[in-house]
Structure 1
Amino acid sequence: MPTEASIAADLRSLGCPEGGTLLVHASLASMGAVPGGAPTVVRALLAALGPDGTLVVPSFTPGNSLTSPMYASRTRGMTDRQLRAYHDTMEPFRTLSTPSQGMGRIAEEVRCTRGARRSGHPQTSFAALGSRAQWITAQHARDCLLGERSPLGRLYELGAHILLLGVGFDVCTAFHLAEYRPPGCTRRYDCKVMLDGTPGWVSFVDVDLHDEDFGRLGGWLETRSSDDGRVARGRIGDAESRLLPLRWAVDAAVEWMNLNRTAGPHPGPRSGSDWLSP
């Protein structure tokens, strides 16, 4: 049964950088029965990083968006009248209190931990704990979901590492940074936020992001790393896990996308913009 001490030891054996910065994507269920659950895992991650380290997680909120797969799934088949009613009941994004959605219990535990900092993007925020948390999460530009002016850009500058704890490359958020180098096709994004204390809508244009091929990209990365061992593999608790340098992964992803992605827009979820109240 994994304990806080054994999880921290597993992290160090995998190569978790003491004093470094770690972007974590994690599945608590994959680790087995962890006494204390997500708080135990977060404490173990912080222990492995040490007092000078920084722990970062995605704290995304697709539920307040008109352009997310979650929105498309929830509104499929609705009439215009039903869509307007649905829009009225959508919760606006609040940096300090809106829960993350679909990011897992470990990510949500980081967001809720005392001292955590969170970036202010209404769709793709990140939460962080540690010595560099404030710098990483500050000034997340609204029209830069996951690019240079987002926490991913800061993590690239810092030479952070990525930990995939019990999850695959298909959820590796850092790959999105490669889509900005150079920027691909753009699209409009719409989401509900607080405007001067009142719920309202904002729209912006940014790169048309998609992750359908991230699994293939990750497989290529692992093959590429077989010569130099850039992707470390091991178990954390019962979870098959990978640790890799973020900067190397992003640079390699740019190369792979240039070779494997065709030019032009990619199909995405239906936008609800046409049904926004005037």
Structure 2
Amino acid sequence: MPTPLRTGPLVTRGSIAAQLLTLGVEPGETLLAHSSLSSLGWVNGGAVAAVQGLLDALGPDGTLVVPSQSADLSDPAAWSRPPVPEDWWEEIRATMPAYDHRITPTRGVGVIPETVRTWPGALRSAHPQTSFAAVGPRAAEITGDHAPDCRLGERSPLARLEKLGARVLLLGAGYDACTSFHLAEYRIPSPTERVGRPAPGGGWETVAEVSITSDRFDELGHDFERDRPVVRGTVGAAAVRLFPVADAVAYAERWLSVHRPRE
């Protein structure tokens, strides 16, 4: 059977940077990027070229931020994709390696964030399940002091990104991946939950956290794009959206209170 042809278009480091700049990315700004490498087309150099293109567009004074989540450091009782047998749970809790910002890989956020996490000079925040990684002059300011009991709230990099006037770049990713919407969940009445994870010194711990969910984020994103200025375009074959973190959070606060009350 012949090898199937690669799906285009051909995308390069240079074309990614050029198309981002044409779209309106500004050298020197701070971008929170949610991405899908496969959506771009055939990328010559893969994730490395994609990160190089992003950094080229931002220039030496810009900062690239990505989610570097490790949601697998969680209670096996809650796993569903796939689940594990209940008689494994206690041993999994007892033997699961604790979070280490240097070596714990990302999970479920794509290959571009994992590439950024290991990039020379990259810094990563301390939350064991919802960390962020950043490259650039503002990386330390954004990733520092991420509270261990605040996944995506006021003591997380999201609040700092909002304050710094950062923008969100959805690079082939949908609004269901938009972590900025989660910051709004911390500012409206939301239930709390007990979250289990391996403890830094060994063993198992549980902490109280605001309950977060991306349920209906696609609907929220549709309405946000209808009502607020959102830059739209393409990079390679990927649909792209660009908008301020602060706009997304403010809109989500109002929308979630009406459309998804959770008191």
User: In which range does the TM-score fall when normalised by the shorter chain?
Assistant: over 0.9
1:138 corresponds to which of 119, 144, 150: 144
Which position in structure 2 is the counterpart of 1:252?
251
Q: Is the counterpart of residue 209 in structure 1 residue 212 in structure 2?
A: yes
User: 1:157 matched to which residue of 2?
Assistant: 163
Cα deviation 1:25-72 (Å, max 9, x = unaligned): 000001111111111111111111111110000000011111796x24
Percent identical across equivalent pairs?
A: 46
From 75, 87, 95, give the equivalent of 2:83.
75
- State whether residues 94 and 193 of structure 1, in contact with CA within 8 Å, keep that contact through their aligned partners in structure 2: no
1:224 equivalent to 2:232? Answer no
Aligned 8 A contact 2:188 2:257 in 1: no
Q: Distance in 2 between matches of 1:67 and 1:183?
A: 28
Residue 67 of structure 1 contacts residue 189 of structure 1 at CA under 8 Å; is this kept in 2?
Answer: no
Aligned partner of 1:73: which letter? R
Displacement after TM superposition at 1:184 (Å): 1.4
Deviation at 1:89, TM superposition (A): 4.1
Among 32, 38, 53, the residue aligned to 2:62: 53
**Contact 1:122 1:193 (8 Å CA) reproduced:** no
Q: For structure 2, list consecutive stretches of 5 or more residues without a partner in the other structure.
A: 1-9
Superposition TM-score, scaled by structure 1 size:
0.88
Runs of 4+ in 1 over 6 A off after TM superposition: none
SS of the aligned residue for 1:139 comes to coil
For 2:67, the aligned partner's letter is P
Q: Structure 1 residues 139, 200: CA separation in 2 closer, same or farther (over 3 Å shift)? A: same
Aligned residues: 254
The CA deviation at 1:263 is 3.4
CA 183–120 in structure 1, closer or farther in 2 if over 3 Å, else same: farther
State the TM-score, normalized to the length of structure 2: 0.92
Consecutive unaligned residues of structure 1, counting only runs of 5 or more, are: 265-278
CA-based RMSD of the aligned residues comes to 1.5
Alpha-carbon displacement from aligned partner over 1:79-122 (angstroms, at most 9, x marks no partner): 3x322233344332111100000111111000000100000100
Correspondence for 2:180 = 174
Shift of 1:258: 1.3
Q: What secondary structure is seen at the aligned counterpart in 2 of 1:46? A: helix
